Every structure is written in C-alpha cells, then in structure tokens.
C-alpha cells in the first residue's frame, strides 16, 4: 500500500486583496442600487415612507454581495472574509456619513447596524466559499 503524502495546506488568516475587492463590489452594488431606487421612486408613486426600509435593504444586500464575492475570490475562510468586508464597509460608510454628510446616529441604531452587517457579511462569506473557484 502506498503511503499518502502528508501535505499541510496553510492559508493566511485573511486575504486583504479579496476583502478590498469585496468592499469595491459592495460599493458598486450600492451605487447601482441607489440609482435604480432613485429611478424607481421618481417614476412610480412610492411614498417616502418606504425609503428607510429600501435604503437599509440595499445596504445589507451590498454587504452580503461583497462578502460573497470576497470569499469566492479567496476560496477559504468565508466567515472571516465576509465579516472583514462588513467591518470595512461599515467604517467607510461611517466616515462618509460623519465627515461629508455631517450626520449622527444613536448608539443603539449603530450597534444594531454593526450586528446585522456582520451577520449578513458572514452569511455571504460562507455561501461565497461554497461557490468559490478553487
């Protein structure tokens, strides 16, 4: 009987390039989704009451898509890559809203957004490994 090779595959804890690509993908989804929502609100009779729900949904869909694509490109550790995309995207959106738009949000709302974003990114990352190229 032939002995099998004792190979150990070690992966780095996080592929920064995959996370940055995932954040870029999330930004693209956000920009395209915002344009689509803008057109939708302009040409239909949707009221402004639905705007917060639509924008939050778009935000979480963007994080999900970014986490999925980051884990797909990395091919491993989807949970870590998905949460990495969520955290970087959260920081980026916080910087934009704080410094450019001069908005503030309550601590409870911020904590809720952090938790939901990390969960959404993690689920996207786990699914992204399942459809990875490797």
Q: Give pTM, 2 decimals.
A: 0.85
Q: State how far the Cα of 55 lies from the Cα of 8, in Å rounded to an integer.
A: 45
Angle subtended at Cα 19 by Cα 86 and Cα 14, rounded to the nearest 5 degrees: 105
Per residue in 16-73, pLDDT tens? 999 999 999 999 999 999 999 999 999 998 888 999 999 999 999 999 999 999 999 9
DSSP 76: S
Straight-line distance from the first to the last Cα atom of the chain, in angstroms, rounded to the nearest whole number: 29
Confidence of residue 98 (pLDDT cuts 50, 70, 90): confident
Q: What is the CA radius of gyration of the chain?
A: 18
DSSP letter (8 states) at residue 59? H
Q: What are phi and psi of 76, to 5 degrees?
A: -155, 160
CB 70 within 8 A of CB 85: yes
Pair 58, 94: CB distance under 8 Å: no
């Amino acid at each position: 009987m032939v002995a099998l090779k004792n190979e150990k595959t070690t992966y780095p804890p996080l592929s920064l390039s995959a996370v940055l690509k995932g954040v870029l993908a999330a930004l693209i989804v956000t920009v395209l989704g915002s344009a689509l929502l803008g057109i939708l609100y302009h040409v239909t009779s949707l009221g402004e009451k639905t705007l917060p729900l639509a924008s939050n949904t778009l935000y979480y869909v963007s994080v999900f898509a970014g986490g999925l694509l980051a884990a797909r490109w990395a091919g491993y550790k989807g949970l870590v890559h998905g949460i990495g995309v969520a955290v970087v995207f959260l920081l980026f959106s916080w910087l934009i809203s704080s410094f450019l738009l001069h908005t503030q949000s309550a601590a409870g709302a911020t904590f809720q957004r952090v938790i939901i974003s990390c969960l959404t990114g993690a689920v996207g990352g786990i699914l992204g490994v399942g459809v990875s190229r490797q």
